Amino acid sequence: MLGNLVRYLDSIVARDPAPRSRWEVLLYPGVWAVFWHRLAHALFRADLFLLARMVNHLSRFLTGIDIHPGATIGRNLFIDHGFSVIGETADIGDNVTIYQCVTLGGSNPTNGVGGKRHPTLLDNVIVGSGAQIIGPVTVGRRARIGASAVVTEDVPEGATMIGVKARSTLVKAETWAREFMPYGTPCQEPCEPGGAAKGVQRFDQLEDEVALLRAEIAALRAQLDQPVRDSEPVVKGL
């Protein structure tokens, strides 16, 4: 059991550059949320639903993360920060990473029958902050859900989904092959001071291009507004 705990903590350290030791990871609310869920899920499977709910509410109060006792969670789930919600029939595979404010929500069946109504996340999925995955959809292995994306349909293996409603974006093979992509969102610029400077430079370039286009449009409008004299021949193309 101790070995499994060490492997779990090491899997989080491998995905998060912030902690300096395993002891720091033990303070993470996501780690405690998974711990309490293991207990609540065992009670849920034993049909002790009230006790399972009590553990669930205690966990939510302490961690800010709401995982329904009925949800099935694989190995090495890393919930980075809190305020995420995981529904009753959600099924999460191994080595999944979920950032803050994520919802694995359910559809509301019109016939009142519960059934499978929450998402299934296969192994090595990354869900960016604020993403919403709704309904009994399946997110394929190694798929990335970008920040604030809203997913309502199945996601193919290895796809990166962005936007509302989420759509797939083409990702280079070398990017797809990376073991881990923070926040599930590929960036052309590195998230370092140099990358930020390049971003500002690119923004300035775009502003200059917009200003140039506006000047050209103004010049064209001025030409169109000038009256054409009858005595002057109209030259085609001018």
Q: What is the pLDDT of residues 58-76, one digit of tens each?
A: 999 999 999 999 999 999 9
pLDDT at 196 over 80: no
Q: Which pTM does this prediction carry?
A: 0.71
Co-location of 180 and 192 in the same domain? no
DSSP 163-187: TTTTEEE---HHHHT-S--GGG---
CA distances from 218 to 199, 212, 223, 227, 237 (A): 29, 10, 9, 16, 19
What is the domain-level CATH number for residue 100? 2.160.10.10
If asked whether residues 59 and 141 sit together in one domain, one would say yes
Looking at the fold, whether 132 and 212 belong to one and the same domain comes out as: no
pLDDT of residue 203: 78
| Residue 229 CA: distances (Å) to CA of 7, 226, 232, 233 | 85, 9, 5, 8
Nearest to 131 by CA among 109, 105, 158: 105
Q: Which range marks the domain in which residue 203 is found?
A: 188-225
Residues 117 and 210 in one domain: no
Residue 232 lies in a domain: no
Note whether residue 178 is domain-resident: yes
More confidently predicted of 122 and 185: 122
Task: Give domain status of residue 238, yes or no.
Answer: no
Same-domain check for residues 106 and 203:
no
- Burial (CB < 10 A; 0-12, 13-18, 19+), residue 34, is buried
Does one domain contain both 158 and 173? yes
How far is Cα 56 from Cα 116, in angstroms, rounded to an integer?
20
H runs (alpha helix) in 20-169: 22-25, 29-45, 49-63
Q: Among 44-48, 91-95, 185-189, 214-218, which stretch is predicted with the lowest mean pLDDT? A: 185-189
In a domain, 237, yes or no: no
Domain assignment present for 73 = yes
Same-domain status, 93 and 197: no
What was the pLDDT predicted at 174? 54
Instruction: Indicate the pLDDT class of residue 172, thresholds 50, 70 and 90.
Output: low
Whether residues 75 and 165 share a domain: the answer is yes
Average pLDDT over residues 169-196: 59
Residues 200 and 92 in one domain: no
Domains in the chain, number: 2
Q: Are residues 168 and 161 in contact, defined by beta-carbon separation less than 8 angstroms?
A: yes
Q: Find tokens 């990473």 and name the residue.
A: 97
Residue 204 or residue 77, greater confidence: 77
Greatest alpha-carbon pair distance for the chain in Å reads: 97
- Let me know if residue 231 belongs to a domain: no
Query: Is residue 154 located within the same domain as residue 201?
Result: no
Domain identity same for 174 and 192: no
Q: Are residues 64 and 162 in the same domain?
A: yes
